[in-house]
Amino acid sequence: MTSPNGLEGPAPTTGAGPDRVLIDATQARAQLQALAVDGYPVTWLAARIGCAASGLGQIRSGQRAHTHRSIAARIHDLHHQYAGTPATDHSVPDHDSSITRTIAGREHWTTITPTTSTPPPARIEDRFLARTTPTADGHLLWNGLPDLYWEGQRHKPGRVAFRIRTGRDPVGHVTADCGHPGCVHPGHVEDAAGRKRLREQLRAIGGLRAATGRMTAQTAPGARETAGRTHTNQ
């Protein structure tokens, strides 16, 4: 549901997560306008970050002076990924791109130079955390673009979470073992090697339990009596 203060969901209340706090939308507005210069319509951009196109349009036009921190972070990612490249290179219909460029020209919007855009966080861990939202039951949900962009490289959020916890690159595919959809909590993700070790440990535990069960059955009173009768009859 679109809120009166942002783009989606209820307006922030006391105790809301840090990414639901309203912040100044000046930079987000400039970034959306710069993307319009390259021909990216708000409908196309909104579809990529999961929010309302009408809300992005109001930020871009200056009708909204504030937006949620998480939305601003997603707009920052969009600008980082697409600014400076023609929209038609990314499957934006030429007709839509042309209309958007016409609007940008009429409004005298311009691109953003490096000195007018806030630099990204100093560490990839900071950027990762800025695009997550904690839940009341201990999970951490990703709310950015599908990939995290850092120093010109794409990173899967789950792999970044794994590196935060272990300090090494994951082996194979990273999944959240907690079962919560969209969770990227560093303590909840595991790589292929870790899952293999866990399966081996479970098999070992299962084998130990089976062996213990056999030993218990052999040492039970009824088993001893049967064994004694068998020995006597022999």
Distance CA 124, CA 121 (A): 7
Nearest to 29 by CA among 81, 1, 53, 64: 64
Residue 233 has pLDDT above 60, yes or no: no
pLDDT band, residue 128 (cuts 50/70/90):
confident
Residue 117 has pLDDT above 90, yes or no: no
Nearest to 56 by CA among 23, 28, 93: 28
For residue range 156-194, list pLDDT tens digits in order.
Answer: 999 999 988 888 899 999 999 898 988 999 999 999 998
Q: Which region, left, alpha or beta, applies to residue 13 given φ > 0 means left and ψ of -120 to 50 means alpha?
A: beta
Alpha helix stretches (DSSP H) within the chain: 26-37, 42-49, 53-61, 69-82, 94-107, 124-130, 157-166, 192-219, 221-233
Mean pLDDT over 211-216 rounds to 57
Which pTM value belongs to this model? 0.51
